[in-house]
Amino acid sequence: MGTHTQRKPARKPKRPRVRPRARARKPRRRLVDYPRHGRLGLRRWLPSWRQWGAAVTLTIASLACLFALVYASVDIPDENAAARREANVYYWADGTQMVSTGDVNRQNVRLSEIPDAVENAVIAAENDTFYSDSGVSPTGLARAAVNMVRGQETQGGSTITQQYVKNTYLSQDQTVTRKVKEFVIALKVDRKKSKREILQGYLNTSWFGRGAYGIEAAAHAYYGIPARQLNPSQGAALAALLKGAEQYDPSASRANHRRSEARWKWILDRQVRAGLMKAEVRARFATYPEPHKESRTTSLSGQTGYLVDVANKYVKQHTALTDKDLARGGYKIHTTFDKEKVRRLKGAVERVLDRDIDPKKRPADKGVQVGAASVRPSDGAIVALYGGADATKHFTNNADTSGVPVGSAFKPFVLASALEHGLRTSAGRDTRWQPASAGSFYGDDGLLRESAAPDAVGGVSPDGSGSAHGSGSADGSTLADGSDSAHPTLRRALAKGGNATYVRLGKDVGLERVRRTAVASGLLEGSMARLDRSFPVGTSTPSAIRMAGAYSTFVNRGLRHDPYSVTKVVKDDEPVGGFERPGARRALDPDVADEAAGAMRGVGASALRRPVTAGRTGDQDRLRSAWFTATTGELSTAVTMFRTSPGKAQLMPMSGVGGARSQHGNVFPVRIWQDYVKGEG
């Protein structure tokens, strides 16, 4: 019997126990996912489009909030207080008023009195979207910010409304702060005023040059008519000035004229393109409307206009003020001019001209001009000047012009340079360095000799008609000092004639050294002539003011004081900086200055009972001018006479002026000086 064995089911193998994975921690959420999580390399640092959008939105919101804050905080200032035109007041040295200028240089007119063509010219030139814009130019503000970062001027891109705001409510400073204020105020003004009110205000406050603020004053200044009579061509020419009168006044220079004419054409053409003028009307204006020559107000007649001219130049040279700033007015300008000395100098010139110059009798007397200036040697103050017959008729200031050759009056600078540096002389192959003195003279061998005795030199007789220089006998016999008429000492050659001596002296000293001595003494480098053979005998063209100042250096023992005409400028009760007087500068060695001054004391005698240091042109000078410069220690005065002819740039010959015995007019500057200083203590 079989036995059944029951098998147990096979046991399944146990699976190994696997521990459950730990759950990864979720990263903590950041407010701004930047640098971006889960990105590698450059992508980690590139913002997402959401981040870009958020940044732009935040920036716009911030700027909007900032603008709202600025808009709310900036109010429209008082228009009348800021736009009021004031006069400039000039004072004599004693503090009394000399003249008040600028009172009539602005006349407000209604827009209805201004021709439509003039309005259209201004709009076409400055802001052709004027009637449709919001009064501002955002791109102009942005450009101002960029220019500020670059260190450039912030001006540019303003609308007519913005320019009106700048003229009427704000300063002329070119800063971003002022530009932002201009932008905000322009928005408010555009909402508060009508476009025609804004345009009227702009035309009445804009600067057109020639001292003219506003279209009415400009029409009179340039065309001698009221604004209502301006034609479209004249209106376009005046509109061109709004870009910058100093660059676009056509009478100022040829370059200005070219710029003005080109812009005039552009403005007329632009009006056609903008639909503001018909093409057939434009075709009628093919010729540029030449303005009148600049004229002056009657308050600047006589010598007053020349005094104001010199004072204004000095102010502009020593401050950041421009013609435009001065024309705006409100400045109190204290000058160095002495009322009595100005009166006496003018009288002396007029008496000599009336007595000795007769254009009806002598054709050679036509066109005679005189310029003169007096400087105080102790500090350089300009106390008097004569600029011409009348500043309202003869606009060139003869006292401050640089265009009249100075002739032998330049020789003292050659002598001073020789005394200071010595010279190289040649005798055959022998070249040597030699010191010089006022008593030196050239021998036949070309070398300097020292005189054996002091040489006496006479002077001009009191009437200026003769001289007694003691320069040697007529037969050329030798004098006691060893020199003779053919070999004069440097002192004698300075007093009378001696051009050949000084031509050689300048060459031996070195023309560049002579030039440096003259400039160091006070003459302007720009007035120096070419360094050629004739340079030592006066081809340079300094002004009378500079000659008077430079001669002061000799009596100041070599110390130089530059001429000045303004002591103080005040605006809104606050002094304007830039008028501190610099100290004296050493120009010459004291002994050199003393010896040169001593040599000059024989050049011109006078009615004064004290030493006079002087230099003059003489018979040998063939330049087209006559000069006399003299320094008493208390007063240094330069007088020049020359001839001009309308339309001719070159000076006319002086031969025959005042008659045959006038020595080419050389006697007249001496006579003027003697008449002028007659009352000096």
CA 185 from chain centre, in angstroms, equals 34
pLDDT at 222 over 80: yes
- Specify the DSSP element, H or E, that contains 667: helix 667-677
Q: Taking Cα atoms as reference points, which of 298, 311, 497, 307 lies closest to residue 386?
A: 307
Global pTM reads 0.66
- Residue 271 in any domain: the answer is yes
Rounded percentage of the chain residues whose pLDDT exceeds 70: 74
What average pLDDT does range 383-392 have in this prediction? 93
- Residue 569 in any domain: the answer is no
**Beta carbons within 8 Å of 372's beta carbon, 6+ residues apart:** 345, 349, 384, 385, 386, 398, 399, 544, 637, 638, 639, 640, 672, 676
Task: Give the pLDDT confidence score for residue 14 in this predicted structure.
Answer: 63
**Per-residue pLDDT band at 104 (split at 50, 70, 90):** very low
**Per-residue pLDDT band at 273 (split at 50, 70, 90):** very high
Task: Give the pLDDT confidence score for residue 84 in this predicted structure.
Answer: 58
**Per-residue pLDDT band at 653 (split at 50, 70, 90):** confident
Tokens in use for 499? 């051009």
Digit-coded pLDDT (tens) for 580-595:
987 899 999 999 999 9
What's the number of CA atoms in the CB half-sphere (13 Å) around residue 648?
A: 9
What's the number of CA atoms in the CB half-sphere (13 Å) around residue 289?
A: 20
Q: Taking Cα atoms as reference points, which of 510, 575, 505, 516 lies closest to residue 333?
A: 575
| Count of structural domains within the chain | 1
Digit-coded pLDDT (tens) for 322-331:
888 888 788 9
- Residue 238 in any domain: the answer is yes
Return the CATH number at 231: 1.10.3810.10
CA angle, residues 347, 348, 350, in degrees to nearest 5: 65
Other Cβ atoms within 10 Å of 328 Cβ, number: 24
Task: Give the pLDDT confidence score for residue 618 in this predicted structure.
Answer: 75
CA angle, residues 390, 395, 400, in degrees to nearest 5: 95
Average pLDDT, the chain: 82
**Per-residue pLDDT band at 303 (split at 50, 70, 90):** very high
- Residue 170 in any domain: the answer is yes
- Sole residue written with tokens 């004064």: 608
**Euclidean distance between the first and final Cα of the chain, in Å?**
178
d(CA 139, CA 127): 14
pLDDT at 151 over 70: no
**Per-residue pLDDT band at 656 (split at 50, 70, 90):** confident
Q: What are residue 515's phi and psi, to 5 degrees?
A: -60, -45
Which of 21-35, 144-158, 375-389, 434-448 is least confident?
144-158
Domain that holds residue 110: 105-282
- Residue 33 in any domain: the answer is no
Other Cβ atoms within 10 Å of 603 Cβ, number: 30
Task: Give the pLDDT confidence score for residue 640 in this predicted structure.
Answer: 96
Q: Strand ranges (DSSP E) for 245-323? A: none
What average pLDDT does range 132-160 have in this prediction? 62
Task: Give the pLDDT confidence score for residue 404 in this predicted structure.
Answer: 94
pLDDT at 470 over 50: no
d(CA 401, CA 396): 7
Task: Report DSSP letters for 535-562, one per residue.
Answer: GGGT-----HHHHHHHHHHHHTTTEE--
Q: Distance of CA 464 to CAs 148, 350, 471, 663, Å?
A: 63, 17, 18, 10
Q: Distance of CA 446 to CAs 33, 497, 505, 564, Å?
A: 96, 19, 11, 43
Task: Give the pLDDT confidence score for residue 466 in this predicted structure.
Answer: 35
Q: Taking Cα atoms as reference points, which of 663, 669, 627 lies closest to residue 408?
A: 627
Rounded percentage of the chain residues whose pLDDT exceeds 90: 45
d(CA 34, CA 51): 9
d(CA 559, CA 49): 75
CA 592 from chain centre, in angstroms, equals 34
Digit-coded pLDDT (tens) for 477-523:
455 555 566 788 999 998 777 889 999 999 999 999 999 999 999 99
What average pLDDT does range 436-440 have in this prediction? 91
Q: Are 412 and 615 in contact (CB under 8 A)?
A: yes
**Per-residue pLDDT band at 664 (split at 50, 70, 90):** confident
d(CA 174, CA 434): 59
Q: Distance of CA 419 to CAs 335, 414, 431, 491, 524, Å?
A: 37, 9, 19, 12, 22
Task: Give the pLDDT confidence score for residue 459 in this predicted structure.
Answer: 45
What average pLDDT does range 452-467 have in this prediction? 46
pLDDT at 63 over 70: no
- Residue 88 in any domain: the answer is no
- Residue 273 in any domain: the answer is yes
pLDDT at 401 over 60: yes
- Residue 360 in any domain: the answer is no
What average pLDDT does range 257-274 have in this prediction? 95
Task: Give the pLDDT confidence score for residue 463 in this predicted structure.
Answer: 44
Which of 48-57, 114-123, 229-238, 264-273 is least confident?
48-57
pLDDT at 645 over 90: no
Q: Which amino acid type is present at position 227?
A: A
Task: Give the pLDDT confidence score for residue 479 in this predicted structure.
Answer: 54
Read off the DSSP letter of residue 626. E
**Beta carbons within 8 Å of 2's beta carbon, 6+ residues apart:** none
